[in-house]
Amino acid sequence: MKILMVTAEAVPFAKTGGLADAVSALSIELEKLGHDVRVIMPRYYRISRDKLRLIDGPMCVHCGNDEVWTAVYTTNLTGGKNIPVYFIDHEQSFGRDGIYGTHQDPDFGDNPRRFSILGHSVFQLCRKLGWYPDIIHAHDWSAALAPVLLKFNERWKAEFSKTASVFTIHNLGYQGNYSKQNYPLFGLDWNNYYASGFEDYDNINFMKAGLVSSDMLTTVSPTYAQEIQRSEYGFRMDGILRSRCGDLEGILNGVDTVVWNPSKDKKIPVQYSASTIEKKLQNKLALQERMGLEVNPSVPLFGIITRLADQKGVAELFAPTYGCAYRMCTQMNIQLVALGSGESWCENEMNVLQSKLPNFRAFIGYNDELSHLIEAGSDFFLMPSRYEPCGLNQMYSLLYGTLPIVRRTGGLADTVQNYEEATGKGTGFIFDDLTPNSIFDTAGWAVYAWYNKPAHIKAMRVRGMKQKFGWDISAQKYEDVYKRALQKIGF
Ligand code: ADP
């Protein structure tokens, strides 16, 4: 099959979260299955043109009455054999820092135009290359215009008559809501304003349009696929998702085990595997030293790596007077290390806490190397997410013998098995309610097991390290979804 991935981010070029990892890893795995996979994304300022090859000739993209001239650059995706990545180069729209926005301005005002250019470029690029995909696979709201244009403007043209669309929800919490004054940019007739799904309480909603207009829908874990059909998790899209439940599949993301493998990880001081798990301790001591904590093998060390966003349960951890991190560090004999960046109140609060507590250390910012050390050096990993479409860190933790403490939601529920004291079974610790007390009590339960059930802790670690989270399994499931999408349009 010929598959075109449409995305705002892909590693190693641009990343804000798990979406970037998923798009690249899935592309590589689909190529291994014999498919012709290509990727289209914007060229942001940080992606240097020097390492890319310019495709001859400018490309004209019509965003409604707006005529936009872009250049197209290309290179091969790292890790794949021959997966061309096409970068849409439009200085005015993408030649700036930030993918969707910046720290100060999280949502650029011209995002409808920026991602309209991406959506329209999909079809112009294919024409330029003379290459027409069987599947257009769009990822998240920023790519949602592509399936909409396919359905309403392009499929009746011969070259796209056999092309089906798949839309993957990586995070329903980000939908791309803007004024309807932007609608003319999409080059869609006003008659299609409702039918396309763009209309949303008299505004436009990219995500909704993708959900309504794509042939098949997927999201990144089976439990999240169920949860988003309920109002609690549906971000107002639950009705649409219920109406399309027959076309919606939950496929768990995999882990890039070339990068996240404790026996080969060059970013950690000492490599280890399930059979040499005692060496993990050296990484704990290195982490304690690096973060300025007491170097002590016996005190349980908790790690956190997260975007500091409400989704991740950071209020329940760090909100002044409300969060439980302070109580955890003062009432339990533990150490806590947190790596993250995001909402400023939370960054400030973490800094206040580390100035008060000898056993809490925070690193504010994005630091890939430290994230590896935290995964390898921690005994427990805290992930109290309000919702979690898939989540990567709990899987990294399992593979690194670090026991996850998670809320039972989305991909966390699909990947972690709860500890059973009677049998010693399980791979982590699970709680249901997102409250500071639940986090506190579950952390306390883990500390209890640490001090009183060391054999269980070791067995759980080894069990976790033997879990398989390969992309090969997921890619086969996507292959089935592509076949179903083609069947839906009669092929
Ligand atoms: P989300 O995409 O919702 O942020 P995921 O768990 O799916 O959550 O993926 C987050 C990815 O970003 C993981 O690979 C995680 O390790 C990484 N990450 C998040 N914050 C940081 C940080 N401050 N420093 C280094 N890596 C981070």
User: ∠224-230-234 over CA atoms, to 5°?
Assistant: 70
Q: What is the pLDDT of residues 403-412, one digit of tens each?
A: 999 999 999 9
- As a whole number, the mean pLDDT across the chain is 97
Tell me the CA–centroid distance for residue 305 and ligand 1, in Å.
7
| Interhelix angle 18-32/471-488, nearest 10 degrees | 80
Which mutation among 371, 373, 383 tests ligand 1's pocket best, with the greatest number of atoms within 8 A of CB?
Answer: 371
Written in H, E and C, the secondary structure of 47-95 is CCHHHCEEEEEEEEEEECCEEEEEEEEEEECCCCCCCEEEEEECHHHHC
pLDDT, position 104: 85
Retrieve residue 258's tokens: 């070339």
User: Does position 253 have pLDDT exceeding 90, yes or no?
Assistant: yes
What are 68's strand-pairing partners?
61
Q: What is the mean pLDDT of residues 258-287?
A: 97
Tell me the CA–centroid distance for residue 385 and ligand 1, in Å.
13
Q: What is the pLDDT of residues 68-126, one digit of tens each?
A: 999 999 999 999 999 999 999 999 999 999 999 998 889 999 999 999 999 999 999 99
Helices (H), 82-200: 91-94, 111-129, 145-149
pLDDT, position 395: 97
Tell me the CA–centroid distance for residue 331 and ligand 1, in Å.
29
Query: Cα-flanking dihedrals φ and ψ of residue 136, to 5°?
Result: -100, 115
Q: What is the pLDDT of residues 128-187, one digit of tens each?
A: 999 999 999 999 999 999 999 999 999 999 999 999 999 999 999 999 999 999 999 999
Tell me the CA–centroid distance for residue 18 and ligand 1, in Å.
6
pLDDT, position 283: 98
User: Does position 256 have pLDDT exceeding 90, yes or no?
Assistant: no
Q: What is the mean pLDDT of residues 265-292?
A: 98
Tell me the CA–centroid distance for residue 306 and ligand 1, in Å.
6
CA distance 469 to 405: 18
pLDDT band at 257 (very low <50, low <70, confident <90, very high): confident
Retrieve residue 437's tokens: 């007390």
Element (H or E) spanning 241, and its range?
helix 238-243
Tell me the CA–centroid distance for residue 15 and ligand 1, in Å.
10
Note whether 361 and 354 are within 8 A (CB).
yes
pLDDT, position 103: 82
Which mutation among 366, 367, 387, 398 tests ligand 1's pocket best, with the greatest number of atoms within 8 A of CB?
Answer: 366
Q: Residue with the nearest Cα to atom 18 of ligand 1?
A: 306
User: Residues lining ligand 1, judged by CB closer than 6 Å?
Assistant: 17-18, 305-307, 339-341, 366-368, 371, 390-393
Beta strands 2-6 and 135-139 are parallel
User: Does position 204 have pLDDT exceeding 90, yes or no?
Assistant: yes
% the chain with pLDDT above 90: 97
% the chain with pLDDT above 70: 100
Which mutation among 308, 370, 393 tests ligand 1's pocket best, with the greatest number of atoms within 8 A of CB?
Answer: 393
pLDDT, position 458: 97
pLDDT, position 179: 98
Q: Residue with the nearest Cα to atom 19 of ligand 1?
A: 306
Nearest alpha-carbon partner for 329 in 480, 163, 178, 440: 440
pLDDT, position 64: 87
pLDDT, position 258: 84
CA distance 199 to 442: 43
Q: Residue with the nearest Cα to atom 15 of ligand 1?
A: 393
User: Does position 4 have pLDDT exceeding 90, yes or no?
Assistant: yes
Count of CB atoms situated within 10 Å of the CB of 327 = 14
User: Does position 17 have pLDDT exceeding 90, yes or no?
Assistant: no
Q: What is the mean pLDDT of residues 307-334?
A: 97
* Sheet of strand 203-205, all strands in order from the earlier edge strand to the far edge: 177-179, 203-205, 199-200
User: Does position 295 have pLDDT exceeding 90, yes or no?
Assistant: yes
Note whether 72 and 86 are within 8 A (CB).
yes
Tell me the CA–centroid distance for residue 372 and ligand 1, in Å.
11
pLDDT, position 421: 95
Tell me the CA–centroid distance for residue 70 and ligand 1, in Å.
32
Retrieve residue 341's tokens: 């960046």
pLDDT band at 289 (very low <50, low <70, confident <90, very high): very high
Note whether 24 and 79 are within 8 A (CB).
yes
Q: Residue with the nearest Cα to atom 22 of ligand 1?
A: 366
CA distance 14 to 141: 16
Atom of ligand 1 at shortest range from CA of 17: 2
CA distance 302 to 284: 10
Tell me the CA–centroid distance for residue 66 and ligand 1, in Å.
37
Query: Cα-flanking dihedrals φ and ψ of residue 233, to 5°?
Result: -115, -5
Note whether 215 and 166 are within 8 A (CB).
yes
Which amino acid type is present at position 115?
A: F
CA distance 347 to 345: 6
Q: Residue with the nearest Cα to atom 1 of ligand 1?
A: 17
3-state secondary structure of 470: coil
3-state secondary structure of 5: strand
Atom of ligand 1 at shortest range from CA of 394: 6
Q: What is the pLDDT of residues 218-246, one digit of tens each?
A: 999 999 999 999 999 999 999 999 999 99
